[in-house]
Structure 1
């Protein structure tokens, strides 16, 4: 019992420290003034995605994530995926939005690499060339097979992170690594608690996304209690903390270079 007590106290301590750090970080990172409303918050391009006209001959697939709007930005992120086939000069964007209609899966709801209501997005995954071209049909099939197109729950899911995790499971070559504060990524139906992690490679046991364990190629080892994930990334050494996400070596993301054009 003493052992369990100390583990519980350590977990609570990590949660409190992580929340405090996340609050400080969110206050510094937000580029809109505190008085700014969601309707007028910044939504323009962050100038991260390669110019689709300049790189028209190259297929590109990218996944982004940004802190959610308001106080929830301290504890969770919103992800989306963009892609274009070779020969196309515009990106297609897909994400799940919990307002504005019964079908929560939205196409081109916002610009490909836009600020998410004042928060600058972070590039999580980038593929280009033949590799990206080959995975686009599988991404489209995964979007079509998403099992919760008319359901949205901020906690514990299904939500935008559940949607992106579904794509990652269906398209393992995407090598998706959703951060530990992507609440909803571990959501699984009660009758199907065992399966693949969001990276598509490994093993996950999760009860409705509120209690579980993940062992994944990209995720490393994560323990989930009430949607708060704590773990260790082994592939690119780092701590995976609730509210904060990743602390350690960043996963390398290969951008599209000029010579590939």
Structure 2
């Protein structure tokens, strides 16, 4: 995972292996050490694994993603990007015993391979005790509360594999036994690459990293889909405007915990 990551802004560090972070090489079918650097100006408040992901996601949220003119009656879509809110906890590390760690971030079904009773621990770098409905994490997963799970089951219009886990507090005691990885199954090949801008992945040229503009071809989106992944940027969920509005009406999303970044259409 090498990228300039807005290299012209604030204190660049030499690209080098990043401790505790690996990326999945789809062609070799194995995890490889990630390489990169952190930028304090962008990733302030995160350390280690959390700092790397904070850097990536903050850049995505802050990039100029223009909303082109949308025909009347057409849908609007938004990127769902989570942030740590003061007083809330976050998850930065993968627990022991988690197989195929790339699958829930790419929409590949875990099935029986997912171990029961898996425990994730709150990041010591974030002292907050509250559990958000969309739990900020540095793992590339959509992690949610039981309340968010119920809403997704009723309204998302998506095939979602809910992987239950226990959340431990900073002392290793149980904080909640009712949290879930929401593994949105599959990915839609609906991105207009000619109108999108980003750095192509060295492992898969059809994937973009550090996206600056993402254009969707609505004709290629499954009718009725209100929450889905794109094959081009599968780790960042896309939410249709009416589902976003529903979450806000239910009081389940509170900025800046979740940033609704508009897609360029």
* Fold in common (TM above 0.5): no
Larger helix percent? 1
Q: Tell me which of the two structures has the higher relative contact order, counting C-alpha pairs closer than 8 angstroms and 6 or more residues apart.
A: 2
Q: TM range, normalised to the smaller chain? A: under 0.3
TM-score normalised by L of structure 2: 0.27
